[in-house]
Chain A
Amino acid sequence: MTTPVLFDIPGPRARARIRIGTGIGILLILGILAVVLVRLAGNGQLEAQRWAVLFDARTGVPQTLGRALVNTLQVAAVGMVVATLLGLLLAVGRLSDHRPVRWLVGTYIEFFRAIPLLVVIFALYFVLPKYDIELSAFQALAGGLILYNSAVLAEIFRAGILSIDKGQREAAFGIGMRKYQVMSLVLLPQATRRMLPVLIAQLVVLLKDSSLGFIIGYFELLRGARSLVEFFSLSFGNQYTFQLYVAAGLIYIVINVLLSQLANLVERRTRRRPTTAGTQAMELPADVQMGQGGGAAASPR
């Protein structure tokens, strides 16, 4: 919104009121912050040595958190690459000319969007071993992420493919291309270029979802922090608990904010580039951004 349409530009009196209100608001927030800090200090959480442990290589904390971070990125990377490829295939399948293929792929997509990702992961981790298929926590987590995200990405890719001007397709058929050539040489390259910002945004969602590994005991950031807490509590009690949790949470947030910024940057570039300019900006729907439950169950279309 460049020029506000919902309100008039505030005049001098309104501006004065806003200034006073802002002052009160700032005081209120500072007050809350002060209460938080005083209580933290009262519990001894702000002592420098408690925070120093995060950066002290002798305690093994930075190494452990580093390893946990690598594990987080690893499962997210594997999940993203495989889910993207599978999602592309599924999108093409959903647009297939053959009804059985369409139906099969449609069922797959609707099924995995209809149930929570955590239930898929639990099914892989707890139910499959009963049938003698043992999966490690990494495999169960990556598997769940792939199954769920490929279904969500397939719908996004399908929207991308359908958004390409139908003249492109007709022209490609017109010069005698075959079906797979039209898809792989004409439609998909344009669609993926258009989808790039959305793909990066989906990576943020996937990275967020990798924190579900905590629940099944995959050694990602939160589980890493938790195991450190358990280790330290043997000799120091709960001394470092708060610091470790804050560190793990902050690492997640910082990485995701950076990735979101990257997505924004790529989106702006995409809109400037002559080959993709003028196309409608694609955005991840709000519910998909929510992660593990997003992507809408069986949306009636």
Chain B
Amino acid sequence: MQFLADNFDLLWDAFLTTLSLSLLAGLLALVLGTLLAAARVSPIPPLRGLASFYVETFRNTPLTVVFFFLIFGLPQIDFILGFYTGAVLSLGLYTAAFVCEAVRSGINSVSTGQAEASRAIGLTFGQSLREVVLPQAFRTVVPPLGNVFIAMVKNSSIAAGFATSELSSLLPRLVNADAGQLTAVLLGVVIAYMIITLPLAFGVHRLERRVAILR
């Protein structure tokens, strides 16, 4: 434990990196994912096709490969991202596909009468989506969406393989420590992840109960 206290700064920095990585990527994923979901139900066929192409591609690509393309591939078209920016983008773009799926299932769960009524009072597609359907859809997908973000926090560990010093990267970095010390680090890392994910899970649960629609 003394070792952990001595290396507290290291752990704290790594924790903050994981946290900021998750926050930025989460924001990107939420915005992009919602736009994609809107595109997937839109009246414009090419937009629908494009969005489902995006989702299918990212769903079938390992996140490691996404990191690979963004960090080692993009420089080939003279587009150089830093490791941290690359990590945020990879994580955000990847998660957006799953946010889209979650939001879309929410849109499908809103009863058809709502959409029909909003059309009947003359709302356009954009208006009925913004004012009527999406607010209800988001309420129903709070739990799955929350799970997607929890998974994203844990997925941010892949950045360890790409020179971002976040939580998981501490293990290979401190590998020369002795058995007890390394075990302490492992414990610290596990607890640090739980400090992010458990309150998130709890918050999602609270939010779910607050906004749930009783049908």
Q: Taking beta carbons and an 8 Å cutoff, which residues of A are in contact with B?
A: 1, 4-8, 10, 14, 18, 21-22, 25-26, 35-36, 39-40, 42-43, 45, 114-119, 122-123, 126-127, 130-131, 204, 207-212, 214-215, 222, 241-242, 245-246, 248-249, 252-253, 256-257, 260, 285-300
Q: Taking beta carbons and an 8 Å cutoff, which residues of B are in contact with A?
A: 41-47, 50, 56-57, 59-65, 68-69, 72-73, 76-78, 94-95, 98-99, 101-102, 105, 108, 112, 115-116, 119, 125, 128-129, 133, 143-144, 147-148, 150-158, 160-161, 167-168, 171-172, 175, 178-179, 182-183, 186, 189-190, 193-194, 197-198, 200-202, 205
Q: Is the interface of A mostly helix, strand, loop or mixed?
A: helix
Question: Which of B46, B50, B65, B101: most chain A Cβ within 10 A?
Answer: B65
A257 to B52, CA, bound (A): 13
Set of chain B residues within 8 Å of A285, measured between Cβ atoms: 144, 147
Q: Which of A249, A252, A286 contacts B144 (CB 8 A)?
A: A286
Q: Is the CB of B158 within 8 A of A118?
A: yes
Set of chain A residues within 8 Å of B119, measured between Cβ atoms: 5-8
Set of chain A residues within 8 Å of B133, measured between Cβ atoms: 6
Set of chain B residues within 8 Å of A242, measured between Cβ atoms: 73, 76
A299 to B148, CA, bound (A): 12
Q: Is the CB of B61 within 8 A of A253?
A: yes
Q: Is the CB of A295 within 8 A of B61?
A: no
Q: Is the CB of B193 within 8 A of A260?
A: no
Could you show 17 A-B contacts with beta carbons less than 8 Å apart?
A116-B193, A117-B154, A119-B167, A119-B171, A119-B186, A126-B182, A130-B179, A211-B62, A214-B161, A222-B68, A242-B73, A256-B61, A285-B144, A290-B152, A291-B155, A293-B154, A297-B201
Q: Is the interface of B mostly helix, strand, loop or mixed?
A: helix
Set of chain A residues within 8 Å of B47, measured between Cβ atoms: 25
- Min Cβ gap A283→B in Å is 9
Q: Is the CB of A290 within 8 A of B148?
A: yes
Q: Which of B56, B157, B194 contacts A297 (CB 8 A)?
A: B194
Q: Is the CB of A119 within 8 A of B189?
A: yes
Set of chain A residues within 8 Å of B57, measured between Cβ atoms: 253
Set of chain B residues within 8 Å of A246, measured between Cβ atoms: 73
Q: Is the CB of A45 within 8 A of B62?
A: no
Q: Is the CB of B171 within 8 A of A123?
A: yes
Q: Which single residue of chain A is at the shortest CB-CB distance from B161? A: A215
Q: Which of A1, A45, A204 contacts B108 (CB 8 A)?
A: A1
Q: Which of A10, A287, A295 contacts B43 (CB 8 A)?
A: A10
Q: Which of B101, B144, B186, B198 contacts A127 (CB 8 A)?
A: B186
Q: Contacts A40-B77, A286-B147 known; A212 to B43 CB distance under 8 Å?
A: no
Q: Which of B44, B108, B168, B198 contacts A122 (CB 8 A)?
A: B168
Set of chain A residues within 8 Å of B201, measured between Cβ atoms: 296-300
Set of chain B residues within 8 Å of A18, measured between Cβ atoms: 43-45
Set of chain B residues within 8 Å of A297, measured between Cβ atoms: 150, 154, 194, 197-198, 200-201
